[in-house]
Amino acid sequence: MVKSVKKKDTKKTSAGKSLVIVESPTKARTLTKYLGRGYQVVASVGHVKDLPKSKLGIDVDHDFQPQYVVIRGKSKFLTEIKTQAKKAKNVFLAPDPDREGEAIAWHIAEELNGNGHNVYRVLFNEITESAIKRAIQSPGSIDMKKVNAQQARRVLDRIVGYMLSPLLWKKIRRGLSAGRVQSVAVRVICEREAEREAFQSQEYWTISAALQGNHPPAFQAKVQEYRGTRIEIQTADEANQIVEALQSAPFTVSGIEQKDKRRNPSPPFITSRLQQESARKLRFSAKKTMVLAQQLYEGVVVGQEGQVGLITYMRTDSTRIAPEAQAEVRDYIQENFGQPYLPSKPNVYKTQKAAQEAHEAIRPTSVRRDPESLRSYLEPDLYKLYRLIWNRFVASQMTRGLDVVTGVDIQANEYLLRASGTVEKFDGYRRIYIEGIDQSGSTTTSESENREDEENRLPELSVGESLRLLEGPDQGVTPKQHFTQPPPRYNEALLIREMEEKGIGRPSTYATIISTIQDRQYVEKEELRFRPTELGRIVNNQLVRHFPDVFDVEFTARMESELDNIEEGDKDWVTTVKEFYSPFAKDLSVAEEQMEGLKGKEEPTDIICDKCGRNMVIKWGRHGHFLACPGYPDCKNTKQFKKDEEGVIHIEEKPVEIADEVCEKCGSPMVVKRGRFGGFLACSQYPECKTTKPLKVGVHCPVENCVGELVQKRTKKGRTFYSCSRYPECNYALWDRPVNRPCPNCQSPFLVEKVKKQSGVSIYCQKEGCGYQEAG
C-alpha cells in the first residue's frame, strides 16, 4: 500500500533530489521548469504494465485476478527509476488525475515500494507553477477505488474482446474483433440506418404571403389555421385551393404579442461538449481534438515564458471553476467589456451526477493569455482549439443576452396567418461566443432554447391595421412543397451526443471508440456522416442476436454506472465482473453452437456469368459480399455489386485506379489491383507486360535520412510483412501493418496494427518504451 504523507514530511532535508514521475515527456519538461533543481522529473510514456498480448491474462477461476506483465520496452525504465528512487528524498507519482493515471501510478508504486522509500501520489488539474507546488506540498496516496474501477473496465473489455474474437473468426472471417462498448456504438449506427431505410417520406406544403403594412419593411407570414383549427396541407390540390382563396382575401392584423427573451450562456466545456463543438465549428475529429487538447494541457513553448500549460485537464465531466479562476475572469470581463457584461454574481452551472467534483471544467489556465497573444506561438490547429476553449470559458461568465420576440396574427377571411421576428436587444455573452448547431438543424445542449434563427425583421404594426398583398416575382401568395426527411445519419458531434445521453462509454473514451469502429471497417464516413458497412451490419446482427444483453444499450449504460459505483467505493469490482461474466459465458457457449457460419455460404442469383454462362452466386469474402461464378476454379469470374431498396442486384463496374507511378520496364502507367493476398501495383499493359510492384501503405520509412516508403510484401511461405521500398539499401522491416497516424502518447510518426486469433485486432505504438495501445 502506498503511504500517505503529511506536509512537514516533504520538507525534511536530504542530500538527494526528489523524484517526480509523469507519463508524458512534454509534461515532464513543463514540470522541470517549475520545480527547479531539487527535483528530477522523468516520464513513463504511458502505462508500464498491462495484460499480456498472447493470452487472456485473467484468472477467471480465482476472482478474475489480472496477470499483469511489464510492457515491452518498459523494463529498462523501471530498472532506472528503481535506481533513482534509492537515492531520492521522496518519490512523487504525478500521472493524470483519472482512472488510467491512477492505474499507472499504482503499477509504478508496486515496483518502487520494495525499496522502502516514501512514495506519494500528487494530483493537479492544471500544469501551472502554483498548482504543481501546491500538489507537491499536499501529497496523498493511491486511490485504490479508482484503480479498481480501471481494473474492472480493463478486465471486462479483455473478456469480451478476447473471447468473442475467435468466434467471429470462425463464423464470419479472420481478423474481426468485438468490443464491449465499441460494438454497442456500431449497433447505434446500424439501428439509425435501419430507421432511415424503413422511413416513409410524407408530402406536405407550406403557404406564405408577402405583405406590406403602413411602414416598411415588407415581411412574410405563413398560413397556420383554418376556422380556428391548425391546418395541415398534404397535397398540391389542397395548397392551390388555399392560394386561390387568399388571392382576393383582405389581410388584417388581429393580434400582436411582444416579449423579452433571455438567452443564457453555455457552461464551460466538459470533454464531451468540447468534442462536439470542435466537430461542428472546426471540423476536427474527436481523436484530433483530444490530441491537441493534450498538447495544450501538457505545455507549449510560449516565447520567454518557456514551456507553459495553457488549459486545465481535458478529461472531465465537471463544470466547476476554481474560485481564483472565477475571480480572474470576472476582472477580465470588467476591464475589457464593461459592467453591463459582468453578472452581479458568478455564473454557476449544474454538473452531471457522475462527475468528479475534484475536477474542473476545461478552461484556460490564465484568461490573461488571450488567443491573439498566443497566435504566433501556436500551430494553426492548436490556436483554433485554444480560441474555442478560451471564448467558451469567458462567455460562460458573462451576462445573459436579451432579445425582443414579436409574434403577429393576421386574419384573412377564415384563415389565420402568423409572422414572427426576433431583434437582439443586448448581446451579452454573444459578443464573443455562440454555440454551434448540428447539420441536422437540432441543437445539442440545454441552450436549444437559446438558439436564434436568422432575424425576420417586422415593421411597426397595430391591431386592426389593413395589410396589402404584394405582387410580383416571388411575392403574392406562394405555395411550397416539402417532404418529411428520415432521421439524419450521425456525424461525430451527433454520435458523441447520443453516446453521452445513452451512457455508452465515457467522454474520455469517445475518441478511441469512434476511431476504432472506423479502423475495423465496421462503419465508414460518407459526407462526414457515419454509415455502417456491410461487414458492420453482419457482425452487428450476429452479436445482437446471440448476445442480446451484452450489446444492449441500457445494459452497457448500467455497466458504466457500476464502474462509477466502484470508483465511489459503493461496489466491489470482483462482484461486478462476476455478475457480467456468468450470463456472458452462457451466451458464448450457445453462440458457439447456434451462430450461423457465413464462410462458404452461397446464395443463387439470376445474374449470368459473362464468361461461361452459368448463374452467378453471392459469396462472402474478407471484403464483404461479392458475385462469383460457381464454376470456380475453371471460371474465376467475380463482380462487385450492390442491392437497392427492393433487393435488386446492380453490378458495380470495377474502376481502374491509376497509381502515380509508371512501369519501370515499358513506361506505361501502373494500376492498383487486388489479389487473394491484398492490393498490389501492376502494369496497365498486362498481359503484354507483367510487371508488378508491392503497394505502398502511405507511411514513410522511420529510419533516419532514408527517403523510402513502407510497402507490403510477402515471404516465400506467404506471410505478409512490411519493409522499406529502398531495400536492399535500407533493411527496415516489420510484421505488423503500419497505420498512418501518429502516436498520441509519444508522437511517433505511425502506429501498427496487430492481428491475433484470440484477441482480434489491436493498434499499438511500435516505438520501444511507449506502450500505447488502443485495443486487445
Cβ(128)–Cβ(365) below 8 Å: yes
Cβ(361)–Cβ(320) below 8 Å: yes
Cα distance between residue 256 and residue 408, in whole Å:
5
Cα distance between residue 566 and residue 153, in whole Å:
10
* Nearest by Cα to 6 from 120, 116, 117: 120
Which residue has cell 462503419?
A: 523
Cα distance between residue 36 and residue 34, in whole Å:
6
Cα distance between residue 600 and residue 731, in whole Å:
40
SS3 of residue 575 by DSSP: helix
Cα distance between residue 313 and residue 95, in whole Å:
11
420: Cβ contacts below 8 Å, ≥ 6 apart: 405, 406, 407, 408, 456, 458
Bridge partners, 529 (sequence order): 526
Residue 313 falls in the annotated catalytic set: yes
Cα distance between residue 141 and residue 147, in whole Å:
12
* Per annotation, catalytic residue among 34, 120, 297, 313: 313
**Preceding peptide of 738 cis, ω within 30°:** no
Nine-digit cell at 246? 387568399
* Nearest by Cα to 285 from 433, 489, 496, 440: 496
Nine-digit cell at 106? 499504482
Instruction: Give the CA distances from residue 494 to residues 191, 362, 440, in Å, rounded to whole numbers and listed in that order.
Output: 14, 21, 9
Kindly compute the dihedral angle of the four CA atoms of residues 516, 521, 523, 529, in this order, to the nearest 10 degrees: 90
461: Cβ contacts below 8 Å, ≥ 6 apart: 213, 215, 253, 256, 408
Cα distance between residue 52 and residue 58, in whole Å:
9
Cα distance between residue 415 and residue 392, in whole Å:
45
Which residue has cell 491475433?
A: 756
Cα distance between residue 39 and residue 43, in whole Å:
13
Sign of torsion over alpha carbons 676, 677, 678, 679: negative
Cα distance between residue 683 and residue 661, in whole Å:
10
Cα distance between residue 776 and residue 774, in whole Å:
7
Nine-digit cell at 633? 476454379
Alpha helices for 113-224 (secondary structure H):
129-137, 144-171, 182-198
Q: Which residues does the annotation mark as catalytic?
A: 313
